[in-house]
Amino acid sequence: MSTTALTGIGLLVTHDPELGELPDAALVIDDDRIVWVGPAAEVPDADESSDLDGRCVIPGFVDSHTHLVFAGDRAAEFEARMSGQPYTAGGIRSTVAATRAATDEDLTSHAAGLIAEMLASGTTTTEIKTGYGLSTVDEERSAHVASRLSGDVTFLGAHVVPPEYADRTDDYVALVAGPMLEACAPYCRWIDVFCDRDAFDVDQARTILTAGAARGLGLRVHANQLANGPAVQLAVELAAASADHCTHLSDADIDALAGSPTVATLLPGAEFSTRSPYPDARRLLDAGATVALATDCNPGSSYTSNMAFCIALAVREMGMTPAEALWAATTGGARALRRDDVGVIMVGARADLVALQAPSPVHLAYRPGVPLIAATWKGGQPITAIGG
């Protein structure tokens, strides 16, 4: 196996509490892992070497919440929303119709295209949810497609109730918690429920999440995106890895998150794209909650794949410092996926790295919309050539 040294790193942001931030740094990659990190002057010999010419290096972004398996788009719905129409969960059903009509090949190539877009913008780990199939066969297809692109696949059969089960929600909950879960679980690490106004209530969510846990899946919850409700408390009670959205939070919700291992995953692309008030990241952080940032990439509420954009929104609109937002988009995402091999630069971690066309990560929010991702390495493999 050959080793590669990355030298000339102007600033290395590790998120390893012992290493912190290192000026004038270098690191060495062996296969898919980091095997040495330290001052540039002390870098050991390696088979190959690449000089980053003073660029800042950060961990690759960890996008812990996406919905990449779908067909079609909802640009017309977005356009209508920007003219005053409200966002409702009902729009999901139009993507369900398009997804059911698409072939496996179409779904795979479309999702792979989004993954490529993400890699080029610095995202090296991507969770992918099902949730636009909503029949046993179409959810299993979606889970299978997702499993070819990510090790963190989430079964979201409980996204909304599909039209053929209108007025038979209990029957749909039984299907999701029974045969649909059985069909999808082999492809999945996680189960999620959209527990909110116009979606699933807390009892239905508990039934589905408990069935998923019994089948060996970890828990995540779409919680309190559209309205205040019991979903955050449910996530904490069931020790879910993450409560996602957290747009509407009571004091009790914040206390519950702060006193628990459940990560609050904030998705500011959704508030941007639905023209909604942003979640109060500052209150969560000040209370001691662990906060992650993710894109929520989906065709309805947040059709962005760009973590740097979410960092800029979190800093400008949600009261996060640039350092807190970068941590949330890397290490925070890893915590939300209960992973310690990504989101951090240290010996033994995966060599998932981003070199910025900037001297510091503050520029991600300071220069919003500017393509600052000079190069990405995923598992030690360079994805984007510098200048390319």
* Residues within the interface to Fe ion (CB under 5 A): 296
Nearest to ligand NIG of 6, 294 (CB atom): 294
Q: Interaction with ligand NIG in 73-92: which residues (CB under 6 A)? A: 91-92
Query: Six-digit token pair at 192?
Result: 């999620």
By CB under 6 A, which span of 15-23, 293-301, 315-323, 336-344 interacts with ligand NIG? 293-301
Amino acid at 74: R
Asked if 124 touches ligand NIG (CB under 6 A), the answer is no
What, of Fe ion, ligand NIG, none, does residue 207 touch, CB below 5 to 8 Å by kind? none
Judged by CB under 6 A, the chain residues 198 through 237 that form the site for ligand NIG are 222, 225
Kindly state whether residue 377 participates in binding ligand NIG, applying the rule CB under 6 A. Answer: no
Q: Is 95:363 a contact under the CB 8 Å cutoff? A: no
Taking CB atoms within 8 Å and a gap of at least 24, the contacts of 316-320 are 316/365, 316/368, 317/268, 317/271, 317/278, 318/266, 318/268, 318/278, 318/279, 318/280, 318/281, 318/282, 319/280, 319/281, 319/282, 320/281, 320/282, 320/285, 320/291
- Torsion (CA) 270, 293, 366, 371 in degrees, nearest 10: -80
Phi–psi pair at 71, nearest 5 degrees: -125, 155
Q: Give the nearest distance from C-beta 302 to Fe ion in angstroms.
A: 8
Q: How far is the CB of 74 from ligand NIG (least distance, A)?
A: 7
* Among ligand NIG, Fe ion, none, partner that 301 touches (CB below 5 to 8 angstroms by kind): ligand NIG
Decide if residue 270 touches ligand NIG (CB under 6 A): yes
> DSSP secondary-structure letter at 297?
B
Residues 149-178 that bind ligand NIG (CB under 6 A): none
- Taking the complex as a whole, the smallest distance from the CB of residue 162 to ligand NIG amounts, in Å, to 13
CA 33, distance to chain mean position in Å, is 22
Out of 301, 304, 306, 376, the only residue in the binding site for ligand NIG (CB under 6 A) is: 301
Interface region with ligand NIG, contact rule CB under 6 A, candidates 6-14, 19-27, 203-211, 291-299: 291-299
Residues in contact with ligand NIG, counted by CB under 6 A, come to a total of 14
Footprint of ligand NIG (CB under 6 A): 67, 91-92, 95, 194, 222, 225, 270, 296, 298-302
